[in-house]
Amino acid sequence: MSKPEDIQPVDLPDEPLIRADTDSEPDLPAEHEPLPMSPTDGTQAPIGAPGSGPLQFARNNTFNTGPGARPMRRQEGPRRLKNGIRLRRREGIDQLLWPADAWATLLLHDIAEAARNEGLEYARAGQTASLQITPAGIEGSVQGRLPRPYVVTITADSLGALDWDRVIAIMAREAVYSAKLLAGEMPPLVEQPFASLGKQLVPTEPNSLKRTCTCDLPYPCKHIDCIAALVIERLAGDTLLCFTLRGLDGQRLLERLQEARAIATRGLARAHSTPPAAEAAPEALPLERCLENFWRPGRQIDVMPSETEPFAPHALLRRLGQSPLQGKFPLVGLLASIYDSIAEDGRKLRDAGLHRAEATDAMDALDAMDALEDEKNDS
Protein backbone atom coordinates (compact mmCIF):
# COMPACT_ATOMS: atom_id res chain seq x y z
CA MET A 1 0.00 0.00 0.00
CA SER A 2 1.39 3.34 -1.09
CA LYS A 3 1.96 6.08 1.40
CA PRO A 4 0.34 9.51 1.12
CA GLU A 5 3.62 11.14 0.33
CA ASP A 6 4.12 8.78 -2.64
CA ILE A 7 0.95 9.99 -4.43
CA GLN A 8 1.79 12.27 -7.35
CA PRO A 9 -0.56 15.12 -8.34
CA VAL A 10 -2.35 14.81 -11.68
CA ASP A 11 -2.73 17.74 -14.02
CA LEU A 12 -6.41 18.26 -14.98
CA PRO A 13 -7.33 19.62 -18.47
CA ASP A 14 -8.23 23.25 -18.76
CA GLU A 15 -12.03 22.61 -19.22
CA PRO A 16 -14.84 24.24 -17.30
CA LEU A 17 -16.34 22.07 -14.57
CA ILE A 18 -20.09 21.39 -14.65
CA ARG A 19 -21.77 21.90 -11.32
CA ALA A 20 -25.13 20.54 -10.28
CA ASP A 21 -26.49 24.01 -9.54
CA THR A 22 -25.81 25.36 -13.02
CA ASP A 23 -28.26 25.42 -15.88
CA SER A 24 -25.69 24.46 -18.49
CA GLU A 25 -25.64 21.00 -20.06
CA PRO A 26 -22.62 19.11 -21.36
CA ASP A 27 -22.09 18.92 -25.08
CA LEU A 28 -23.36 15.58 -26.41
CA PRO A 29 -21.50 13.69 -29.12
CA ALA A 30 -22.93 13.82 -32.57
CA GLU A 31 -24.40 10.36 -32.41
CA HIS A 32 -26.40 11.28 -29.27
CA GLU A 33 -27.70 14.66 -30.40
CA PRO A 34 -31.52 15.03 -30.37
CA LEU A 35 -33.25 14.83 -33.72
CA PRO A 36 -35.51 17.80 -34.35
CA MET A 37 -38.94 16.71 -35.56
CA SER A 38 -41.40 18.65 -37.64
CA PRO A 39 -44.65 19.33 -35.71
CA THR A 40 -46.79 18.61 -38.76
CA ASP A 41 -45.63 15.50 -40.58
CA GLY A 42 -43.01 14.09 -38.18
CA THR A 43 -40.05 14.56 -40.62
CA GLN A 44 -36.70 15.98 -39.54
CA ALA A 45 -36.35 19.72 -39.85
CA PRO A 46 -33.20 21.84 -39.75
CA ILE A 47 -32.37 23.30 -36.36
CA GLY A 48 -33.65 26.81 -36.06
CA ALA A 49 -35.80 26.54 -39.17
CA PRO A 50 -39.06 28.51 -39.06
CA GLY A 51 -41.90 26.42 -37.71
CA SER A 52 -39.56 23.75 -36.47
CA GLY A 53 -40.77 24.28 -32.89
CA PRO A 54 -39.07 22.85 -29.82
CA LEU A 55 -36.76 19.91 -30.22
CA GLN A 56 -38.36 16.47 -29.87
CA PHE A 57 -36.59 13.17 -29.41
CA ALA A 58 -37.50 10.43 -31.88
CA ARG A 59 -39.06 7.39 -30.21
CA ASN A 60 -36.67 4.45 -30.16
CA ASN A 61 -37.90 0.89 -30.27
CA THR A 62 -35.19 -0.44 -27.96
CA PHE A 63 -35.07 -0.74 -24.19
CA ASN A 64 -31.64 0.96 -24.08
CA THR A 65 -28.99 2.22 -26.46
CA GLY A 66 -26.13 0.29 -24.92
CA PRO A 67 -24.48 -2.80 -26.30
CA GLY A 68 -26.73 -5.89 -26.47
CA ALA A 69 -29.96 -3.84 -26.65
CA ARG A 70 -33.06 -5.88 -27.60
CA PRO A 71 -35.90 -4.49 -29.72
CA MET A 72 -39.34 -4.27 -28.11
CA ARG A 73 -41.48 -7.35 -28.91
CA ARG A 74 -44.84 -6.64 -30.48
CA GLN A 75 -48.01 -8.54 -29.51
CA GLU A 76 -48.30 -11.52 -31.85
CA GLY A 77 -51.80 -12.92 -32.36
CA PRO A 78 -54.90 -12.14 -30.28
CA ARG A 79 -55.01 -12.00 -26.51
CA ARG A 80 -55.94 -15.38 -25.14
CA LEU A 81 -59.44 -15.61 -23.68
CA LYS A 82 -60.35 -18.03 -20.91
CA ASN A 83 -63.65 -19.93 -21.10
CA GLY A 84 -64.47 -18.52 -24.50
CA ILE A 85 -67.09 -19.94 -26.87
CA ARG A 86 -65.45 -22.48 -29.19
CA LEU A 87 -66.37 -23.99 -32.52
CA ARG A 88 -66.64 -27.70 -31.67
CA ARG A 89 -67.95 -29.14 -34.92
CA ARG A 90 -65.26 -31.41 -36.34
CA GLU A 91 -66.29 -30.77 -39.92
CA GLY A 92 -66.13 -27.03 -39.29
CA ILE A 93 -68.77 -25.23 -41.33
CA ASP A 94 -68.71 -27.64 -44.27
CA GLN A 95 -71.02 -30.53 -45.21
CA LEU A 96 -74.15 -28.78 -44.00
CA LEU A 97 -77.79 -29.49 -44.71
CA TRP A 98 -80.54 -27.01 -45.53
CA PRO A 99 -81.14 -24.40 -44.12
CA ALA A 100 -77.72 -24.17 -42.44
CA ASP A 101 -75.92 -24.28 -45.79
CA ALA A 102 -78.10 -21.50 -47.20
CA TRP A 103 -77.43 -19.30 -44.18
CA ALA A 104 -73.69 -20.09 -44.44
CA THR A 105 -73.64 -18.80 -48.02
CA LEU A 106 -75.32 -15.59 -46.90
CA LEU A 107 -73.32 -15.01 -43.71
CA LEU A 108 -69.92 -15.66 -45.34
CA HIS A 109 -70.63 -13.66 -48.49
CA ASP A 110 -67.74 -11.56 -49.79
CA ILE A 111 -65.32 -12.52 -46.96
CA ALA A 112 -61.76 -12.91 -48.26
CA GLU A 113 -60.09 -16.30 -48.01
CA ALA A 114 -57.42 -15.03 -45.60
CA ALA A 115 -59.99 -13.40 -43.31
CA ARG A 116 -62.13 -16.52 -43.47
CA ASN A 117 -59.24 -18.76 -42.39
CA GLU A 118 -58.26 -16.42 -39.55
CA GLY A 119 -61.85 -16.10 -38.38
CA LEU A 120 -62.21 -19.89 -38.32
CA GLU A 121 -59.06 -20.16 -36.21
CA TYR A 122 -60.47 -17.53 -33.84
CA ALA A 123 -63.67 -19.57 -33.51
CA ARG A 124 -61.80 -22.81 -32.82
CA ALA A 125 -59.49 -21.13 -30.29
CA GLY A 126 -62.42 -19.78 -28.27
CA GLN A 127 -61.82 -16.07 -28.86
CA THR A 128 -65.55 -15.28 -28.64
CA ALA A 129 -66.49 -13.76 -25.28
CA SER A 130 -70.27 -13.63 -25.83
CA LEU A 131 -72.88 -14.60 -28.41
CA GLN A 132 -76.61 -13.84 -28.42
CA ILE A 133 -79.12 -14.89 -31.08
CA THR A 134 -82.51 -13.21 -30.71
CA PRO A 135 -85.32 -12.18 -33.07
CA ALA A 136 -83.72 -8.72 -33.07
CA GLY A 137 -80.47 -10.08 -34.53
CA ILE A 138 -77.07 -11.52 -33.65
CA GLU A 139 -74.60 -9.80 -31.34
CA GLY A 140 -71.22 -11.15 -30.24
CA SER A 141 -67.86 -9.94 -28.95
CA VAL A 142 -64.52 -11.27 -30.21
CA GLN A 143 -61.24 -10.80 -28.34
CA GLY A 144 -58.47 -9.51 -30.58
CA ARG A 145 -55.10 -7.90 -29.92
CA LEU A 146 -56.54 -4.92 -28.04
CA PRO A 147 -57.62 -5.20 -24.38
CA ARG A 148 -61.28 -4.54 -25.24
CA PRO A 149 -63.11 -7.10 -27.44
CA TYR A 150 -64.55 -6.11 -30.79
CA VAL A 151 -68.36 -6.05 -31.03
CA VAL A 152 -69.96 -7.75 -34.04
CA THR A 153 -73.63 -7.35 -35.00
CA ILE A 154 -75.49 -9.22 -37.74
CA THR A 155 -79.13 -8.47 -38.56
CA ALA A 156 -81.36 -9.87 -41.30
CA ASP A 157 -84.54 -8.33 -42.67
CA SER A 158 -87.31 -9.66 -40.43
CA LEU A 159 -90.84 -10.58 -41.44
CA GLY A 160 -93.76 -8.58 -40.11
CA ALA A 161 -96.38 -9.84 -37.66
CA LEU A 162 -99.02 -10.13 -40.39
CA ASP A 163 -96.67 -12.21 -42.54
CA TRP A 164 -96.06 -14.61 -39.65
CA ASP A 165 -99.80 -14.95 -39.05
CA ARG A 166 -100.34 -15.94 -42.66
CA VAL A 167 -97.41 -18.38 -42.66
CA ILE A 168 -98.65 -20.13 -39.51
CA ALA A 169 -102.20 -20.32 -40.90
CA ILE A 170 -100.89 -22.02 -44.06
CA MET A 171 -98.69 -24.44 -42.12
CA ALA A 172 -101.57 -25.34 -39.79
CA ARG A 173 -103.54 -26.79 -42.71
CA GLU A 174 -101.05 -29.64 -43.13
CA ALA A 175 -99.97 -31.95 -40.30
CA VAL A 176 -96.61 -32.60 -41.94
CA TYR A 177 -95.19 -29.22 -40.88
CA SER A 178 -95.84 -29.62 -37.15
CA ALA A 179 -94.80 -33.29 -37.27
CA LYS A 180 -91.45 -32.50 -38.90
CA LEU A 181 -90.70 -29.55 -36.64
CA LEU A 182 -91.61 -31.54 -33.51
CA ALA A 183 -89.22 -34.27 -34.64
CA GLY A 184 -86.42 -31.71 -34.99
CA GLU A 185 -86.38 -31.88 -38.79
CA MET A 186 -86.35 -29.00 -41.24
CA PRO A 187 -87.09 -30.23 -44.79
CA PRO A 188 -86.99 -27.78 -47.71
CA LEU A 189 -90.78 -28.00 -47.97
CA VAL A 190 -90.97 -25.60 -45.00
CA GLU A 191 -90.03 -22.92 -47.50
CA GLN A 192 -93.30 -23.41 -49.44
CA PRO A 193 -95.61 -21.40 -47.13
CA PHE A 194 -93.20 -18.47 -47.35
CA ALA A 195 -92.89 -18.77 -51.13
CA SER A 196 -96.69 -18.75 -51.51
CA LEU A 197 -96.68 -15.28 -49.93
CA GLY A 198 -93.77 -14.05 -52.00
CA LYS A 199 -91.40 -14.26 -49.01
CA GLN A 200 -88.32 -16.32 -48.16
CA LEU A 201 -87.37 -18.16 -45.00
CA VAL A 202 -83.68 -17.82 -45.87
CA PRO A 203 -82.84 -14.60 -47.72
CA THR A 204 -80.79 -14.93 -50.89
CA GLU A 205 -79.89 -11.30 -51.50
CA PRO A 206 -76.66 -10.20 -49.75
CA ASN A 207 -78.06 -6.70 -49.12
CA SER A 208 -80.78 -8.20 -46.90
CA LEU A 209 -78.10 -8.88 -44.27
CA LYS A 210 -76.27 -6.15 -42.34
CA ARG A 211 -72.91 -6.97 -40.73
CA THR A 212 -70.87 -4.55 -38.61
CA CYS A 213 -67.72 -4.72 -36.48
CA THR A 214 -65.98 -2.15 -34.31
CA CYS A 215 -62.49 -2.99 -35.61
CA ASP A 216 -60.66 -0.99 -38.27
CA LEU A 217 -59.83 -3.94 -40.55
CA PRO A 218 -61.13 -4.16 -44.13
CA TYR A 219 -64.83 -5.11 -44.27
CA PRO A 220 -65.95 -7.86 -43.88
CA CYS A 221 -63.32 -8.84 -41.32
CA LYS A 222 -62.20 -12.02 -39.56
CA HIS A 223 -64.23 -11.12 -36.45
CA ILE A 224 -67.44 -11.23 -38.50
CA ASP A 225 -66.35 -14.59 -39.89
CA CYS A 226 -65.73 -15.90 -36.35
CA ILE A 227 -69.25 -15.01 -35.19
CA ALA A 228 -70.76 -16.30 -38.43
CA ALA A 229 -69.04 -19.69 -37.99
CA LEU A 230 -70.51 -20.11 -34.51
CA VAL A 231 -73.99 -19.13 -35.71
CA ILE A 232 -73.78 -21.63 -38.58
CA GLU A 233 -72.78 -24.36 -36.13
CA ARG A 234 -75.81 -23.62 -33.98
CA LEU A 235 -78.09 -23.58 -37.01
CA ALA A 236 -76.86 -27.06 -37.90
CA GLY A 237 -77.82 -28.31 -34.42
CA ASP A 238 -81.03 -26.32 -33.85
CA THR A 239 -82.97 -25.68 -37.04
CA LEU A 240 -85.62 -23.61 -35.21
CA LEU A 241 -83.05 -20.80 -35.04
CA CYS A 242 -83.81 -20.26 -38.71
CA PHE A 243 -87.15 -18.74 -37.69
CA THR A 244 -85.49 -16.72 -34.92
CA LEU A 245 -83.17 -15.04 -37.40
CA ARG A 246 -86.22 -13.94 -39.40
CA GLY A 247 -87.93 -12.23 -36.48
CA LEU A 248 -89.94 -14.91 -34.59
CA ASP A 249 -88.54 -17.17 -31.89
CA GLY A 250 -88.51 -20.78 -33.06
CA GLN A 251 -90.10 -22.21 -29.92
CA ARG A 252 -92.81 -19.55 -30.03
CA LEU A 253 -93.57 -20.45 -33.66
CA LEU A 254 -93.91 -24.12 -32.71
CA GLU A 255 -96.35 -23.26 -29.92
CA ARG A 256 -98.45 -21.07 -32.22
CA LEU A 257 -98.46 -23.76 -34.90
CA GLN A 258 -99.70 -26.41 -32.46
CA GLU A 259 -102.41 -24.04 -31.23
CA ALA A 260 -103.50 -23.29 -34.77
CA ARG A 261 -103.60 -27.01 -35.58
CA ALA A 262 -105.83 -27.69 -32.57
CA ILE A 263 -108.22 -24.92 -33.61
CA ALA A 264 -108.35 -26.17 -37.20
CA THR A 265 -109.04 -29.79 -36.25
CA ARG A 266 -111.11 -29.57 -33.06
CA GLY A 267 -112.45 -26.06 -32.94
CA LEU A 268 -111.78 -23.07 -30.75
CA ALA A 269 -113.59 -24.48 -27.69
CA ARG A 270 -111.53 -27.68 -27.69
CA ALA A 271 -108.26 -25.83 -28.26
CA HIS A 272 -108.95 -23.45 -25.34
CA SER A 273 -111.23 -25.53 -23.13
CA THR A 274 -112.28 -24.10 -19.78
CA PRO A 275 -111.26 -26.35 -16.89
CA PRO A 276 -114.26 -27.73 -14.99
CA ALA A 277 -115.08 -26.29 -11.61
CA ALA A 278 -113.92 -28.37 -8.68
CA GLU A 279 -116.74 -30.33 -7.06
CA ALA A 280 -117.00 -31.08 -3.37
CA ALA A 281 -115.47 -34.51 -2.88
CA PRO A 282 -117.29 -36.95 -0.60
CA GLU A 283 -115.77 -37.72 2.74
CA ALA A 284 -113.12 -40.39 2.30
CA LEU A 285 -113.22 -43.64 4.26
CA PRO A 286 -110.46 -44.47 6.72
CA LEU A 287 -107.44 -46.04 5.10
CA GLU A 288 -107.73 -49.33 7.02
CA ARG A 289 -111.13 -49.89 5.43
CA CYS A 290 -109.76 -49.36 1.93
CA LEU A 291 -106.76 -51.68 1.96
CA GLU A 292 -108.53 -54.60 0.34
CA ASN A 293 -109.76 -52.64 -2.68
CA PHE A 294 -107.13 -49.88 -2.75
CA TRP A 295 -105.47 -50.98 -6.00
CA ARG A 296 -108.65 -52.13 -7.71
CA PRO A 297 -110.53 -49.92 -10.17
CA GLY A 298 -113.68 -48.29 -8.91
CA ARG A 299 -117.12 -48.37 -10.43
CA GLN A 300 -116.35 -45.24 -12.43
CA ILE A 301 -114.31 -47.31 -14.85
CA ASP A 302 -117.53 -48.88 -16.15
CA VAL A 303 -118.73 -45.58 -17.54
CA MET A 304 -115.52 -44.86 -19.43
CA PRO A 305 -116.06 -44.71 -23.21
CA SER A 306 -114.71 -47.66 -25.08
CA GLU A 307 -113.75 -45.55 -28.08
CA THR A 308 -111.53 -42.51 -27.70
CA GLU A 309 -110.94 -39.69 -30.13
CA PRO A 310 -107.92 -40.00 -32.43
CA PHE A 311 -104.84 -38.31 -31.10
CA ALA A 312 -101.13 -38.04 -31.84
CA PRO A 313 -99.25 -40.72 -29.89
CA HIS A 314 -96.91 -39.41 -27.22
CA ALA A 315 -97.71 -35.79 -28.08
CA LEU A 316 -96.36 -34.50 -24.76
CA LEU A 317 -93.05 -36.32 -25.18
CA ARG A 318 -92.73 -35.03 -28.73
CA ARG A 319 -93.34 -31.50 -27.58
CA LEU A 320 -90.74 -31.72 -24.83
CA GLY A 321 -88.14 -32.89 -27.36
CA GLN A 322 -84.93 -34.76 -26.72
CA SER A 323 -83.87 -35.35 -23.13
CA PRO A 324 -80.65 -33.65 -21.98
CA LEU A 325 -79.76 -36.79 -20.00
CA GLN A 326 -77.36 -39.13 -21.73
CA GLY A 327 -77.51 -42.90 -21.34
CA LYS A 328 -77.45 -46.26 -23.06
CA PHE A 329 -81.10 -45.97 -24.09
CA PRO A 330 -82.94 -42.75 -25.04
CA LEU A 331 -85.10 -41.56 -22.16
CA VAL A 332 -87.95 -40.46 -24.45
CA GLY A 333 -88.22 -43.95 -25.92
CA LEU A 334 -88.24 -45.58 -22.48
CA LEU A 335 -91.00 -43.29 -21.25
CA ALA A 336 -93.03 -43.96 -24.39
CA SER A 337 -92.78 -47.71 -23.79
CA ILE A 338 -93.84 -47.28 -20.17
CA TYR A 339 -96.84 -45.15 -21.17
CA ASP A 340 -97.91 -47.78 -23.72
CA SER A 341 -97.66 -50.56 -21.14
CA ILE A 342 -99.70 -48.61 -18.59
CA ALA A 343 -102.37 -47.81 -21.19
CA GLU A 344 -102.62 -51.47 -22.23
CA ASP A 345 -102.96 -52.63 -18.61
CA GLY A 346 -105.64 -50.01 -18.04
CA ARG A 347 -107.62 -51.24 -21.03
CA LYS A 348 -107.40 -54.83 -19.75
CA LEU A 349 -108.64 -53.80 -16.32
CA ARG A 350 -111.49 -51.87 -17.91
CA ASP A 351 -112.52 -54.85 -20.05
CA ALA A 352 -112.30 -57.21 -17.09
CA GLY A 353 -114.47 -54.89 -15.01
CA LEU A 354 -117.06 -54.74 -17.77
CA HIS A 355 -117.13 -58.52 -18.03
CA ARG A 356 -117.62 -58.88 -14.27
CA ALA A 357 -120.43 -56.35 -14.33
CA GLU A 358 -122.16 -58.16 -17.20
CA ALA A 359 -121.85 -61.49 -15.42
CA THR A 360 -123.22 -59.99 -12.24
CA ASP A 361 -126.16 -58.47 -14.09
CA ALA A 362 -126.88 -61.81 -15.77
CA MET A 363 -126.84 -63.66 -12.46
CA ASP A 364 -129.14 -61.09 -10.92
CA ALA A 365 -131.56 -61.49 -13.83
CA LEU A 366 -131.58 -65.28 -13.41
CA ASP A 367 -132.21 -64.94 -9.70
CA ALA A 368 -135.10 -62.58 -10.37
CA MET A 369 -136.66 -65.02 -12.84
CA ASP A 370 -136.32 -67.89 -10.37
CA ALA A 371 -137.99 -65.80 -7.69
CA LEU A 372 -140.94 -65.06 -9.99
CA GLU A 373 -141.40 -68.71 -10.83
CA ASP A 374 -141.32 -69.66 -7.15
CA GLU A 375 -144.04 -67.09 -6.42
CA LYS A 376 -146.23 -68.52 -9.20
CA ASN A 377 -145.83 -72.02 -7.93
CA ASP A 378 -146.69 -71.01 -4.39
CA SER A 379 -149.80 -69.27 -5.56
**Cβ pair 115, 221 in contact under 8 A:** yes
Q: What is the pLDDT of residue 31?
A: 45
Q: What is the pLDDT of residue 244?
A: 94
Q: What is the pLDDT of residue 209?
A: 93
Q: What is the pLDDT of residue 285?
A: 74
Which residues on adjacent β-strands are paired with residue 265?
none
CA 290 from chain centre, in angstroms, equals 53
Give the residue-averaged pLDDT of 37-57.
46
Q: What is the pLDDT of residue 45?
A: 47
Residue 195 — very low, low, confident or very high, per pLDDT cuts 50/70/90?
very high
Residue 220 — very low, low, confident or very high, per pLDDT cuts 50/70/90?
very high
Q: How many helices and strands (H and E) does the chain possess?
A: 11, 4
Q: Residue 264, exposed/middle/buried by CB under 10 A (0-12, 13-18, 19+)?
A: middle
Q: What is the pLDDT of residue 248?
A: 93
Instruction: Evaluate if residue 17 carries a pLDDT over 50.
Output: no
Q: What is the mean pLDDT of the chain?
A: 76
- Best CA proximity match to 171, nearest among 190, 188, 185: 190
Of 115-119, 147-151, 268-272, 354-358, the least confident: 268-272
Which of the two residues, 129 and 91, has the higher pLDDT score? 129
Q: What is the pLDDT of residue 311?
A: 57
Give the residue-averaged pLDDT of 335-348.
82
Task: Report the range out of 273-282, 297-306, 334-343 with the highest average pLDDT.
Answer: 334-343
**Considering the chain, what percentage of its residues have pLDDT values greater than 90?**
34
**Cβ pair 212, 152 in contact under 8 A:** yes
**Considering the chain, what percentage of its residues have pLDDT values greater than 70?**
63
Give the residue-averaged pLDDT of 25-54.
47
Instruction: Evaluate if residue 52 carries a pLDDT over 90.
Output: no
Of 146-155, 158-167, 282-291, 332-341, the least confident: 282-291
Which of the two residues, 3 and 77, has the higher pLDDT score? 77
Residue 352 — very low, low, confident or very high, per pLDDT cuts 50/70/90?
confident
**Cβ pair 67, 209 in contact under 8 A:** no
| Alpha-carbon torsion, ordered 23, 26, 28, 29, to 10 deg | 160
**Cβ pair 112, 156 in contact under 8 A:** no
Which of the two residues, 118 and 358, has the higher pLDDT score? 118
Residue 144 — very low, low, confident or very high, per pLDDT cuts 50/70/90?
very high
